[in-house]
Amino acid sequence: MNRRNFAAGALALAVLPMLAACSGGATTLDTPASAPGSAAAGDSAIVIGTANFSENQILGYLYADVLKGAGLTVTVKPNLGSREIVVPALQNGDIDLLPEYQGSLLLYLDPKATESDSDALQKALTAKLPQGLAVLPPSAAEDADVFTVTKESAAKYGLSTLADLAKHNGKLVFGGPAEDKTRQIGLVGLKEVYGAEFKAFKSLDASGPLVKGALKSGDVDVANLFSTDADIVKNGWVMLTDPKHLIPAQRIVPLIRTGKATETVKTALAKLNTALTTEELSKLDALVDVEHQDPDTVAAEWSKAHGLSG
Amino acid sequence: MIDLLSQLAAWLTSSGQWAGPEGIAQRLLEHVQYSFLSTIVAALIALPIGLFIGHTGRGAFFAINISGFGRALPTVGVVTLVFLASGLSMTPVYVSLIALAIPVIVTNTYAGMIAIEADTKDAARGMGMTGLQSLWRVEIPLAAPLIMTGLRLAAVQVISTATIAAYVSFGGLGRYIFDGLAQRDLTQVLGGAVLVAGLAVTVDLILAGVNRVLFRHRLT
């Protein structure tokens, strides 16, 4: 459902044995049909993995559709788990390709990284990725944290950038997931970078029904949402801009095993990355999260409509 | 593992952790307050229902099934639903905790009432007692141990579930679990869980003790 759960999932104790299994090589992902190297198709066969939230699955199926269109044999393994599971699976060769997010992936590789704009992130990722893995050029689409206010509050308090929040220190109520209280992309960074302080912090959920409900009813004034959340457009909420680059870019990048990054694959994914914008991705997210359609159907229809599935 | 346990011990015993508006003492107090209020309100609703259907034998099928339905409700779902309807307040927390506690009190009260032998009730009537007199002087005293068990079960369930107050931004011991998970601070999560479990066990033992004192003359 969202990018943050992707990382937080690692905490669940239940995941630990799975992690061990992944790094040990004896993984449950190794079904005979998809074992790396076993397919006669060789370079033209590719296994796509996805994390355990709907947007990432849609992206995985979109990758699958365009690569099938380019003539490859594609297997999709959806819903594998959090980043702490899928990235090691990629290193082991259980999967070959994975839709990722620039900022979050870099923080996973290097928790102290400070790069925030897309180009710098791309460079840092290339430097920090382990041997054998590479990121391809990013998509136009981005799923980043975004601090959002209602149209009415924006007008009432004159809010359009995060810097405007400091004009109303101690007056506004902030809502977001519990981690916002202690992390950089949250109260800490808003104070450090923009000098913004709030009347109260309400610990709710990550771009879920609680924080959106509270924003709608006026119980919170500023809410931390995700930029692809369809409710932002639907309700006409205002996303505060980030002139000082507190929030790292989270454009979507294909993370791939270098051996699989052939010209055919690169060209096909580049076409998809140009066509897929944040707005388009939020529409796809809404079809799955709000209308409860299947991610693979949604992806197939979209790539067909955009002439990408060949 | 040993590391984690020693960190947990340090967390639970540090005096800084116990003091202040976000300290354990305050959180414990909030947790007890949420749980106590919910259990009391649930008892005020559930006891009359249980006594009525047990005494009259009327509406039992309806009441037991409705309360069984209440048991099957996922608490987080109720919280979210009420939150969306009523906004950011303690209402969703209280509604869901009360809904959680009612079924067990109703069914135990009812079970206590129907376990009374018909002969006993007949004898009460035969001595000239009215229905209400029979209820107060004969049936309730006889059903009391089971009624108390219902209250005790409800209290323990409510205490262990009151952590959801933190889900909608409020306090209580759930704060440590939700914040710890979000901040990947396993010590804090474990500390919160241990405190909730400790509180639930303590209250259960206290109520068990009360039961023993109250009903010490009973054969059963």
**Reported ipTM:** 0.78
Q: Do B179 and A203 touch (CB under 8 A)?
A: yes
The C-alpha of A122 sits at a distance from chain B's nearest C-alpha, in angstroms, of 27
pLDDT at A80 over 80: yes
Instruction: Point out the least confidently predicted range of A107-111, A238-242, A292-296.
Output: A107-111
- Which chain A residue shows the shortest CA-CA distance from B177? A178
What is the reported pTM?
0.76
**Model pLDDT, residue B3:** 87
**Model pLDDT, residue B71:** 80
**Model pLDDT, residue B220:** 52
Mean pLDDT of chain A: 86
Instruction: Tell me how far apart the alpha carbons of residues A50 and A54 are, in angstroms, rounded to a whole number.
Output: 9
In chain A, pLDDT over 70 holds for what percent of residues? 86
Residue ranges of the domains in chain A?
3-142+249-305, 145-239
Confidence of residue B219 (pLDDT cuts 50, 70, 90): low
Strand partners, A241: A161
pLDDT at A98 over 60: yes
**Model pLDDT, residue A309:** 84
**Which residues neighbour A163 within 8 Å (Cβ) at sequence distance 6 or greater?**
A194, A243, A244
Mean pLDDT of chain B: 91
Q: Which domains are assigned to chain B?
A: 2-214 (1.10.3720.10)
What is the pLDDT averaged over residues A44-72?
A: 94
Confidence of residue B63 (pLDDT cuts 50, 70, 90): confident
Cβ proximity of A254 and A97 under 8 Å: yes
Residues B64-118 have pLDDT tens digits of 888 878 788 889 899 999 999 998 999 999 999 999 999 999 999 999 999 999 9
Q: Do B186 and A11 touch (CB under 8 A)?
A: yes
**Model pLDDT, residue A43:** 64
pLDDT at B162 over 50: yes
The C-alpha of A37 sits at a distance from chain B's nearest C-alpha, in angstroms, of 37
What are the start-end ranges of the H helices in A93-162? 102-109, 118-128, 151-157
Residues A158-168 have pLDDT tens digits of 999 999 999 99
**Helix (H) or strand (E) segment spanning residue A244:** none
Confidence of residue A7 (pLDDT cuts 50, 70, 90): very low
**Helix (H) or strand (E) segment spanning residue A255:** strand A252-257
- Which chain A residue shows the shortest CA-CA distance from B86? A217
The residue count of chain B comes to: 220
**Helix (H) or strand (E) segment spanning residue A77:** strand A73-77
**Model pLDDT, residue A52:** 84
Alpha carbon dihedral B191, B199, B196, B173, in 10-degree steps, equals -80
B14 in contact with A, Cβ within 8 Å: no
Q: Do B88 and A203 touch (CB under 8 A)?
A: no
Report the top-level CATH class of A3-142+249-305: alpha beta
Residues A12-41 have pLDDT tens digits of 434 334 434 444 334 444 444 444 444 444
Residues A170-229 have pLDDT tens digits of 999 999 988 889 888 899 999 999 999 999 999 998 888 899 999 999 999 999 999 998
CATH label, A145-239, candidates 3.40.720.10, 3.40.50.300, 3.40.190.120, 3.90.700.10: 3.40.190.120
CB pairs under 8 A between A and B: 48
Same fold, A3-142+249-305 and A145-239: yes
A203 in contact with B, Cβ within 8 Å: yes
Residues B18-49 have pLDDT tens digits of 988 889 999 999 999 999 999 999 999 999 99
**Model pLDDT, residue B2:** 84
Which of B160, B173, B168 is closest to B27 using CA atoms? B173
pLDDT at B140 over 70: yes
**Model pLDDT, residue B64:** 83
